[in-house]
Amino acid sequence: MEEIFKEAVKVFSVNNVLFEFLGQKVSLLECLSTFTGLLCVFLAVKGKVLNFWVGYIYNIFLFMMFFQLRLYSSMILQPISLAINMYGHYRWTHPGEDEKDQKSRLKVTVFNNGERAVVLAVVLMFMFIWGYMLSRVDMWFPSLFTQKASQPYFDAFILGTILMAQYLSAQKKLDCWGCWMTANVCNIILLSRNGLGIMPFVYAAYVILAIGGFLTWLKMYRKQHYIDLRKQVENKWAAQNK
């Protein structure tokens, strides 16, 4: 059993390099993360519940990769992300009666400007608190974190934005795609600085998918909004003619 574990550690090590891309070494773990991540986002864009199942596997791969890269904030994100994915999985498949679209699925909704301001304030507050903690995690828990965190405040901002994006995605809020685009652009910068070869290009693809997701969900929202308005008019007309 111990030998199997050691072999698995070698296979999923960031040092298990398959090839080089633009001067950067690319590991098997990075390739697996790339594939599952792109598939997960593509399915989310299409509004497919299957995206949650792929997302669970994606969380595991990212946890292993970020731990080895000492990106502790991004690493800690993965168990939290897993929990939010489970919540979103339930929300998408068990909407309330007033939350269903014409196909009895959770319908897309949007925030107003006041609610968006609250979202931004929460993310910034999280960044300062979590960034401070990350900058000292090696001093507080030296046995677990033997080296200082890499770019703690920037890492914390990305974490906060991703958590917010995931929560809004679980609620099927159109605004989630703005959070995803912001987080993905920041991740391109962060991962490029930390020597990953393919992942920055993956996050560039995520930006494109996020734009597609926004346009797709916007179309779904407008269609459902029209249906809801028509129902309101029909119900009002029926009530007046009783």
For 233, residues 6+ apart whose C-beta sits below 8 A from its C-beta are: none
Give the tens place of pLDDT for each residue, 59-73: 888 888 888 877 776
In 3D space, the residue among 160, 158, 159, 163 whose CA is nearest the CA of residue 185 turns out to be 158
93 or 198, greater pLDDT: 93
DSSP per residue over the chain, as a string?
-HHHHHHHHHHT-TT-EEEEETTEEEEHHHHHHHHHHHHHHHHHHTT-THHHHHHHHHHHHHHHHHHHHT-HHHHHHHHHHHHHHHHHHHHHHS--GGGB-TTSSBPPB---HHHHHHHHHHHHHHHHHHHHHHTTHHHH-TTT--SPPSSHHHHHHHHHHHHHHHHHHHTTBTTHHHHHHHHHHHHHHHHHHTT-SSHHHHHHHHHHHHHHHHHHHHHHHHHHHHHHHHHHHHHHHHHHT-
Residue span of the structural domain in which 144 resides? 2-94+102-240
In this predicted structure, what is the pLDDT of residue 173? 92
Q: Does the structure show a pLDDT above 70 at 13?
A: yes
pLDDT tens profile 111-153: 989 999 999 999 999 999 988 887 887 777 776 666 777 778 8
Q: How many domains does the chain have?
A: 1
Q: Is the pLDDT of residue 175 over 90?
A: yes
Distance between CA atoms of 49 and 219, rounded to whole angstroms? 18
Side-chain half-sphere exposure of 159, counting CA atoms within 13 A: 25
pTM, rounded to two decimals: 0.77
Q: What pLDDT is recorded for position 28?
A: 81
For 41-53, the pLDDT digits (tens) are 888 888 788 888 9
Model confidence band, residue 155 (pLDDT cutoffs 50, 70, 90): confident
- Work out the average pLDDT over 216-221: 89
